[in-house]
Amino acid sequence: MKRVTVLGATGSVGTSTLDLIERNPHAFEVVALTANCDVEKLAAAAIRTRARCAVVADEKCLPALQERLAGSGVEAMGGAHSVCDVARMGADWTMAAIVGSAGLKPVMAALEAGGTVALANKESLVSAGEVMMAAARAHGATLLPVDSEHNAVFQCLDRTAPRGVRRIILTASGGPFRATPKEAMRDITPAQAVAHPNWSMGAKISVDSATMMNKGLELIEAFHLFPVAAEQLAVLVHRQSVVHSMVEYVDGSVLAQLGTPDMRTPIAYALAWPERMETLCPPLDLATVGKLEFENPDLDRFPALALAMEALKAGGARPAILNAANEVAVAAFLAGRIGFLEIAAISADTLSRYDPAAPETLDAVLAIDAEARLYAAERVKDCVA
Ligand code: NAD
Ligand code: MG
């Protein structure tokens, strides 16, 4: 029996994770499930999986959770500190599927507990990559990438010869606006931006995919996960989302991982690793797919990707600032306060105004994140005014 905890259990990745766990009740024992405030979904999942505890990060939602769980045998907890407490409880396997920098402290808590952390929350490696990787090493934690591209690379990396890697190529679907002319991008609405052609995901990452900031964040994530220099990371647009990423070796071999675009595959890989487990994902039928197409990304139409590439090369505090500004801008876009093109503009502007020293601790990262959010929020106000 693997003892598992799911942080962000009510989201897109969290729900897929629970689906796999619940189909294999004899293999997994659920320690804790967490959510921000979706009491109904969290409580139902906690009761179904006989979780030891359920946590809402938003303390205001605790009374409702307590009421819903009364008599169920599941302990109800509330507050961001409680999310960290359960992350530290030492499950064998923890899914980190909270969205955004709210995931940083819980991911750190799970790493410090020294178990296996399946990482969907890419923002924690973007903002605090050095600090997180150092913590994983110091506490003997195992970090397994869940992001489909990184999971693909993880599967393709020949661990016996890391010096044999020439390049890591992350594929990108290009999102819903892959072929949209620049002039038409100004009028893109939140509803259009969250309608991803290939993947079903939470709102924030869907907007990130639409701006291609997501691929930029993923380059930074890959830089921390894999033993390569920034120059060895490349992006290739591949609209079918069948090839999930590739590793090119010095001898000319290119290994790729393929599959239907369904997060249950990379989640299952992380859940069963180093074994494999069955999923209900439809098998890949390449004859039906017919064609696999590839093209270079257009950095002119997708300035967010260019911005993230610069932040990766510059390093230090740049990725943390970029991540924070982007989160503020995406939230403002989803709330209808700013336009689509302003997401990248606000991120660029925040980066140009603020240049602190490289953070060496998680607290330093969080301070940079907080300050960058203030700059970005000011810019949002300027746009609205
Ligand atoms: P989502 O919005 O569907 O779910 C987010 C989860 O985080 C929910 O359970 C929510 O309750 C919780 N949450 C939100 N704010 C919180 C807070 N302040 N404190 C504590 N918990 C909070 O998001 P998602 O699409 O499942 O993505 C989760 C993470 O996985 C993101 O970092 C995303 O980039 C990454 N990811 C997602 C996918 C995907 O297919 N959805 C693919 C790759 C990577
Ligand atoms: Mg991805």
Of 5, 6, 13, the one to substitute when testing ligand 1's pocket (max ligand atoms within 8 A of C-beta) is: 13
Tell me what pLDDT residue 53 has. 98
pLDDT computed for residue 60 by the predictor: 98
Q: Quick one: pLDDT at residue 160?
A: 63
Alpha-carbon span 8 to 36, nearest angstrom? 7
Q: Where are the domains of the chain?
A: 2-145
Ligand 1 pocket test, pick from 7, 83, 98 with the greatest ligand atom count within 8 Å of Cβ, gives: 98
Report residue 295 CA to chain centroid gap. Answer: 24
For residue 25, the Cα-to-chain-centroid distance in whole angstroms is: 26
Indicate which ligand has the atom closest to the C-alpha of 173. Answer: 2
**Mean pLDDT throughout 282-288?**
97
pLDDT of residue 373: 98
225 neighbors 149 (Cβ within 8 angstroms): no
Would you state the pLDDT for residue 79? 98
Question: Around Cβ 190, how many Cβ atoms within 10 Å?
Answer: 17
The model's pLDDT over 210-219, given as tens digits with 9 standing for 90+, comes to: 999 999 999 9
- Residue range 289-307: average pLDDT? 98
Looking at the CA of residue 203, tell me the nearest atom of ligand 1.
Answer: 2
pLDDT in the model for residue 161: 67
pLDDT the model gives residue 197: 86
**For 164-182, how does the pLDDT look when each residue is reduced to its tens digit (9 = 90+)?**
999 999 999 999 999 999 9
Q: How far is the CA of 263 from the centre of ligand 2 (A)?
A: 9
Three-class DSSP category at 30: strand
Q: What is the pLDDT of residue 96?
A: 98
- State whether residue 220 is helix, strand or coil: helix
**Location of structure tokens 């801008």:** 329
- Is the distance from the beta carbon of residue 325 to the nearest atom of ligand 1 less than 6 Å? no
pLDDT at residue 385 greater than cutoff 90: no
pLDDT tens-digit readout, 347-377: 999 999 989 999 999 999 999 999 999 999 9
Determine if residue 173 is labeled as part of a ligand binding site.
yes
Question: Which pLDDT does position 65 carry in this prediction?
Answer: 98
Mutate to test the pocket of ligand 1, among 59, 170, 205 (most ligand atoms within 8 A of CB): 205
H or E segment and range at residue 38 = none
CA distance 356 to 202: 31
* Mean pLDDT, rounded, for 70-90: 97
* Structure tokens belonging to residue 323: 């991540």
Q: How far is the CA of 218 from the centre of ligand 2 (A)?
A: 7
What mean pLDDT is predicted for residues 248-262?
96
Does residue 330's CB lie within 6 angstroms of at least one atom of ligand 1? no
CATH number of the 2-145 domain: 3.40.50.720
